[in-house]
Amino acid sequence: MRNVLVTGGAGFIGSNFVRYVLEQDPLVRLTSLDALTYAGSLDNLKDLPDPDRHSFVHGDIRDLETVTDVLRDHRIDTVVHLAAESHVDRSILNPAPFVQTNILGSFNLLEAARLAWGREGVIPSGSCRFLHVSTDEVFGSLGADDPAFSETTPYAPNSPYAASKAASDHLARAYVRTYGLPAIITNCSNNYGPYQLPEKLIPFMFLNAVEGKPLPIYGDGQQVRDWLHVQDHCDGLWRALISGRPGDTYNFGGGVQASNLEMVQRICSHLDQLLPTSPSCPHASLIAFVADRPGHDRRYAMDSTKARTELGWGPAHTLEEGLRETIEWYLQNAAWIQALRSQPSYEDWLRENYEMRESGQ
């Protein structure tokens, strides 16, 4: 592994993974491929460690020619596929981009890799890896007493987003079985940490609380999630690349389950301590319950035993430590937030995101 392509490299998990690998292995060169939609920004790739080992390509995985050219021109021997439409609410309002990016885009990457590493022999396939990064949402919803999702849990996606990711997982498996593509699939729980856009729960609630806006919580707020710090996830992905078996699947979870309401209350508690003079203290007074969204999964939980035993992986962050570090990062990186807000479409995007939560859509 010498030339690594990171799709979605200017996004939340992608940019964190780029930083992690540049610090982890001085011999690896990375290429980020990103369409720079609202979810990706070159600001996420500023101040990289050893930036000379990183290059950026502005392109869309839905374009097979672009993907093929990147693999050939950069002599890519490892693909880390993180590019995706990932917001469940948006998939409910408009599923088409999720089908196009998550399914067609994944197909393009798999097909380009198959040709580059196989029939065309650009790179010997024995030295290649394709890491397909997925989500716990493909497994559906758990009851309060159900065991956590394992690698053998049947797929039962409930949202257009989850269904599109499930379809891409099946494509990756098919390419392993049919063509011998050296692919590894990983499924992770809810990520949080630096550079996450305020469409996701933690940064969304943080920004609203800091600005004294209502904190809209779907339904009764008792939807339970398994929370995984993004740096721990990146460590797991790296270990899967180094030690994982092609054709195998690995689950990564933070090992800590908390309800959405509990997470918002924790955010408010941290802000009360960090911003004691805020006129919104106590910030929990901003919490407002709104109609639940359609098809809202009740509980996710991941069994990471296989990753722990076979990859030697385990999360280094406790939820309390990781959440406080994340909130402090947002407070200390006002320039990053301001750059996000300076984008022409930001206010419309943020208002749409808020209205989706407020209406329960």
Tell me the pLDDT band of 108, cut-offs 50, 70 and 90: very high
Considering the chain, what percentage of its residues have pLDDT values greater than 90? 84
**Rounded percentage of the chain residues whose pLDDT exceeds 70:** 93
Instruction: Kindly report the three-state secondary structure assignment for every residue of 97-121.
Output: HHHHHHHHHHHHHHHHHHHHHHHCC
Residue pair 313/235 in contact (Cβ under 8 Å)? The answer is: yes
Q: Look up residue 192 and give its amino acid.
A: Y
Kindly report the average pLDDT of the chain as a whole number.
Answer: 93
* Amino acid making up residue 201: L
How confident is the model at residue 361, as a pLDDT? 42
pLDDT at 326: 98
Distance separating alpha carbons of residues 10 and 103, to the nearest angstrom: 20
Indicate the pLDDT class of residue 89, thresholds 50, 70 and 90.
confident
Q: What's residue 38's pLDDT?
A: 85
pLDDT for res 352: 63
Give yes or no for a contact between 229 and 255, defined as CB atoms under 8 angstroms apart: no
| Strand-pair category, 129-135 with 190-192 | unpaired
| Residue-level pLDDT at 348 | 63
Question: What pLDDT is recorded for position 353?
Answer: 60
Q: Which residues of 27-44 are buried (b: 16+ CB within 10 A; e: fewer)?
A: ebbbbbbbbeebbbbebb
Structure confidence at residue 360 (pLDDT):
46
* Superfamily (CATH H level) for 3-192+228-255+300-316: NAD(P)-binding Rossmann-like Domain (3.40.50.720)
Residue 312, exposed/middle/buried by CB under 10 A (0-12, 13-18, 19+)? exposed
Closest-CA residue to 256 (of 179, 320, 336): 320
Q: Where are the alpha helices (DSSP H) in 25-76?
A: 64-73
Q: State the pLDDT at residue 322.
A: 97
Name the token pair of 239.
Answer: 């270990």
d(CA 322, CA 326): 6
At 149 the pLDDT is 97
- pLDDT (0 to 100) of residue 359: 47
Instruction: Report the predicted TM-score, pTM, of the whole model to 2 decimal places.
Output: 0.93
d(CA 300, CA 255): 11
> Is the model's pLDDT at 28 over the cut of 70?
yes
Residue 355 has pLDDT above 80, yes or no: no
Longest alpha-carbon distance in the chain: 65
Q: Between 347 and 131, whose confidence is greater?
A: 131
Q: Which of 303, 184, 317, 310 is closest to 251 using CA atoms?
A: 303
Asked whether the predicted pLDDT for residue 351 surpasses 80, the reply is no
Min mean pLDDT across 35-44, 87-96, 311-320, 337-346 is at: 337-346
Please compute the mean of the pLDDT values over residues 316-330 and round it to a whole number: 97
Residue 155 DSSP SS3: coil
Please list the alpha-helical segments (H only) found in the chain.
12-24, 64-73, 88-93, 96-98, 106-114, 160-179, 201-210, 230-243, 260-274, 305-311, 319-332, 334-341, 346-359
Checking if the pLDDT of 358 tops 60, the result is: no
Q: What is the dihedral of CA 232, 236, 242, 243, to 10 degrees?
A: 130
pLDDT of residue 153: 97
**What's the average model confidence in pLDDT over 6-29?**
97
Tokens of 176: 């392993």
Residues annotated catalytic, as ranges: 136-137, 161
Tell me what pLDDT residue 39 has: 85
Count of CB atoms within 10 A of residue 21's CB?
24
pLDDT of 356 higher than 70 = no
CB-CB contact of 22 with 48 (8 Å): yes
Structural domain spans, the chain: 3-192+228-255+300-316
Backbone angles phi, psi at 252, to 5 degrees: -125, 125
Q: Is the pLDDT of residue 357 over 60?
A: no
Tens digits of per-residue pLDDT, 114-138? 999 986 555 555 789 999 999 999 9
In angstroms, rounded to a whole number, what is the distance separating the alpha carbons of residues 11 and 180? 30
Residue 334's SS3 state is helix
Checking if the pLDDT of 8 tops 90, the result is: yes
C-alpha 158/C-alpha 285 separation (Å) is 32
Q: Take residue 104 and report the two structure tokens written for it.
A: 């067609």
